[in-house]
Amino acid sequence: MASPKPRPAGLKLIEGRSPGRDSGGRPVKQAPTFKRLPPEPPGWLPEEARAEWERVVPELARLDLLKPADRSALTAYCLTWDRLVQAQREIEADGSVLATNSQGRVRHPAVAVIEAASKELRAWAGEFGLTPSSEGRVGQQGADDGDEANPFAGSG
């Protein structure tokens, strides 16, 4: 069983016993404040990967969820999307079953690529809050409703 992801410092503080401490009374270290700018895409991205980059980056940037250091993770996400699309195109051209032999039907190798890419894509998408179940775990960095006691409130 995988261990749960670490909880954000702000959430620990909300549930904490006293200012700056978590529910167990331990001091909570604050995460570094990153400059929120979208990364530039690598020039070598394949067409489908670039199209996915151009589809998701504006929305993630609008939510202040990206920083230049996210380039590699975002690139991996987009390349995974590209791999899934290319495998699907192969199946559309060839069919999902290539042959039948004494052991049964032989499925197209691209089916395994799609299955693996789907799992990897879901994991990368979750990192950026791009799945329905993960979108609630990401917060707008600049949101401020005027509540100074809110550890999630932006600094301006």
Mean pLDDT of the chain: 81
74, 128 Cβ separation under 8 angstroms: yes
Residue 145 has pLDDT above 70, yes or no: no
Question: In the prediction, which pLDDT does 9 show?
Answer: 60
Give the pLDDT confidence of 100-139 residue by residue, as tens digits. 888 888 889 999 999 999 999 999 998 888 888 887 776 5
pLDDT of residue 118: 95
> Cα-flanking dihedrals φ and ψ of residue 140, to 5°?
-70, 120
> Is the predicted pLDDT of residue 50 greater than 90, yes or no?
yes
pLDDT of residue 12: 57
Asked if pLDDT for residue 38 goes beyond 90, the answer is yes
Query: Who has greater pLDDT, 85 or 27?
Result: 85
Beta-sheet pairing, 97-101 with 104-107: antiparallel
Contact indicator for 83, 76 with CB cutoff of 8 Å: no
Through-space distance between the first and last CA atoms of the chain, rounded to whole angstroms: 40
Q: What would the mean pLDDT of 19-31 be, rounded to a whole number?
A: 75
C-alpha R_g of the chain: 21
Contact 128, 77 (CB under 8 A): yes
- Domains of the chain, by residue range, sit at 46-132
**pLDDT of amino acid 73:** 95
- Of 106 and 21, which is predicted with more confidence? 106
Assess whether pLDDT exceeds 70 at residue 141: no
Q: How confident is the model at residue 48 (pLDDT cuts 50, 70, 90)?
A: very high
pLDDT tens-digit series, residues 8-19:
565 555 566 667
Quick one: tokens of 46?
């394949």
